[in-house]
Chains A and B, each alone.
Chain A
């Protein structure tokens, strides 16, 4: 019944992939300001798309202003606590670990990692849109209170959970262990 499992050498391409994902994780921590600038610029684009009021992005301050020209304008700064950058870091590291341990699932891991990353980015944008919507509806103080603290946190938690579950499920499903490559 016993069969010996012999570990083959890890292909160079997979090793490079592991290094690249790890480097991306480090890059996100080191270059979080640049990432926050991109995130806030994307938020500006989406707000212009969904809002009839004025929108202004100050990239150097990682801040987006919306509701300009109305009675409740507001500027939101993308801080390290609000960015999705740091939420991507554990996913990248786990992805690198999975590929390092079982190279044959690299394609599946990369695909699910991409999907999870998109979900995290989209969820953070949705959080900003919800905040802008609630400020426009309830006014600056109440809208910010509910949008940032309550709804925003829930969106982050559930969005994070969905991203995490999808990542693990998609990265690990379908491989029965009997198809050594």
Chain B
């Protein structure tokens, strides 16, 4: 490659990197402001609605018993629907042993129709619920709550979701609540040394991510009208699900990100979605980096699959251009991360090449002021992530000194860089046509135990 070509490549990649970095910095500023301004809203009256927890299970014997007991004791007025996705373990037996009158329901699925994805499992429960309610139920009063098999919704969640700005508003079709890691600050059992430290830090970072960055994104989406749904702590009005269910009575669709998909279908059908930080669902954070990478690869691949909705979103009469642009930016994230892994290193590679060829020139260039550029671009790369550490410490978990807050921020910056790995893994899986559901193992599942496998 000639020197001119190298200079052009350098200039071009520098411009793209600068645009992406500046765009991301502005985005982070825009989402931080509404998050920091958040004020709790008053609760509503949960008795105005009927509540149905849907708990999809695929080999969940380790956790399902405790979850069902918790849900029934904490929310005695709510029905619990456990969907057994033809588990290979004792999930079914555990649930059967807990039978609790008319309030606990077991929806059984059988292969080959079973184990085809979480969306299909939820659709099976939706149809069972519709059949159980009968034709004359008031669908707008029925609220379906999707909870993971290890989920622990906060005791106030029904009242908070019944609030005037959430299901108290008849235009609201679905509500997502904040997600926390119930095992934050708890070291992985039996782990020692650096594994113990890494496991504890992994869970802390997941807690930080959900309670600050993701919550801030969701808060800002309140302005664009594009609040999305998550896989845990997802509340939906039955009449809204009926609207988008179609003739197959299947409101959840087939991508690996069926929760996000649900939100897109609701929004493009004219329903509004809500988000609240005034209540939460606790779930188990993953201690294992390997399991975390598997989970995030699945999410990345799911986001890539949802690119098929871009046209639908932009054609919708119900979404503003700003809202459609926000969803487009979200869907573009894994692709931008792929671009980033190519664009960001190029200036550095060229610099290393130049240093090998002419170290004296590079030293003069660096000490002659280029160090400032390194400082500026370095802070661009780290600051948008580092800042969440102090915010988390200030708003969520005020323990320890401010140094700990900075430590959280530094760890979060490193944590986020794993997405560059998972985006590549996701695109490779996509290219190979591997679109199956690779369920993330729970912390309590042993690698040699019975697990749900990709198909």
Top 3 nearest A-B pairs by Cβ distance?
Answer: A80-B11, A149-B369, A86-B15
Q: Which residues of B pack against A, CB within 8 Å? A: 7-8, 10-12, 14-16, 18-20, 22-23, 25-26, 239-240, 243-244, 268-271, 310-312, 314-325, 328, 368-370, 372-373, 376
Q: Closest CB-CB distance, A173 to chain B, in whole Å?
A: 7
Give the distance in Å from the alpha carbon of A51 to the alpha carbon of B140 in the complex: 72
Question: Could you list some 23 contacts between A and B, CB below 8 A?
Answer: A1-B239, A1-B269, A1-B271, A5-B316, A5-B318, A29-B12, A32-B8, A80-B11, A81-B11, A149-B368, A150-B372, A153-B373, A153-B376, A157-B18, A157-B22, A157-B376, A168-B325, A171-B321, A172-B321, A172-B322, A176-B320, A177-B316, A177-B320
The answer on a CB contact under 8 Å between A80 and B12 is yes
Q: Which residue of B lies closest to A154 (CB)?
A: B376
Chain A residues in 8 Å Cβ range of B322: 172-173, 175
- Interface segment out of the listed A15-23, A52-60, A158-166: A158-166
- A38 part of interface (Cβ distance < 8 Å): no
Chain A residues in 8 Å Cβ range of B268: 5
Give the distance in Å from the alpha carbon of A82 to the alpha carbon of B310 in the complex: 35
Tell which of A29, A82, A86, A145 touches B368, judged by Cβ atoms closer than 8 Å. Answer: A145
Q: Which residue of B lies closest to A80 (CB)?
A: B11
Q: Which residue of A lies closest to B7 (CB)?
A: A80
The answer on a CB contact under 8 Å between A83 and B269 is no
Chain B residues in 8 Å Cβ range of A89: 12, 15-16
Give the distance in Å from the alpha carbon of A7 to the alpha carbon of B309 in the complex: 13
Q: Which residue of A lies closest to B314 (CB)?
A: A101
Q: Which of B22, B314, B321, B369 has the most CB of A within 10 A?
A: B321
What is the total of A-B residue contacts with beta carbons within 8 Å? 119
- A71 part of interface (Cβ distance < 8 Å): no
Q: Closest CB-CB distance, B268 to chain A, in whole Å?
A: 6
The answer on a CB contact under 8 Å between A177 and B22 is no
Q: Closest CB-CB distance, B381 to chain A, in whole Å?
A: 13
Q: Is the interface of B mostly helix, strand, loop or mixed?
A: helix
Chain B residues in 8 Å Cβ range of A176: 320
Interface residue tally for chain A (C-beta within 8 Å) = 43
Given A86-B12, A89-B16, 7 additional A-B pairs, CB 8 A? A5-B315, A5-B317, A90-B19, A101-B324, A160-B22, A172-B320, A177-B320
Chain A residues in 8 Å Cβ range of B14: 81, 86
Tell which of B11, B269, B321, B372 touches A177, judged by Cβ atoms closer than 8 Å. Answer: B321
Give the distance in Å from the alpha carbon of A26 to the alpha carbon of B318 in the complex: 34
Q: Which of A1, A89, A157 has the most CB of B within 10 A?
A: A1
The answer on a CB contact under 8 Å between B317 and A3 is yes
Chain A residues in 8 Å Cβ range of B12: 29, 80, 86, 89
Q: Closest CB-CB distance, A147 to chain B, in whole Å?
A: 10
Give the distance in Å from the alpha carbon of A140 to the alpha carbon of B324 in the complex: 50
Chain A residues in 8 Å Cβ range of B8: 29, 32, 80
Chain B residues in 8 Å Cβ range of A148: 369
- A41 part of interface (Cβ distance < 8 Å): no
Q: Closest CB-CB distance, A144 to chain B, in whole Å?
A: 9
The answer on a CB contact under 8 Å between A172 and B325 is yes
Chain B residues in 8 Å Cβ range of A173: 321-322
The answer on a CB contact under 8 Å between B11 and A149 is no
Chain A residues in 8 Å Cβ range of B368: 145, 149
Q: Which residue of B lies closest to A103 (CB)?
A: B314
Tell which of B23, B243, B310, B376 touches A164, judged by Cβ atoms closer than 8 Å. Answer: B23
A87-111: CB near B (< 8 Å → 1, else 0) gives 1011100000010011001000000
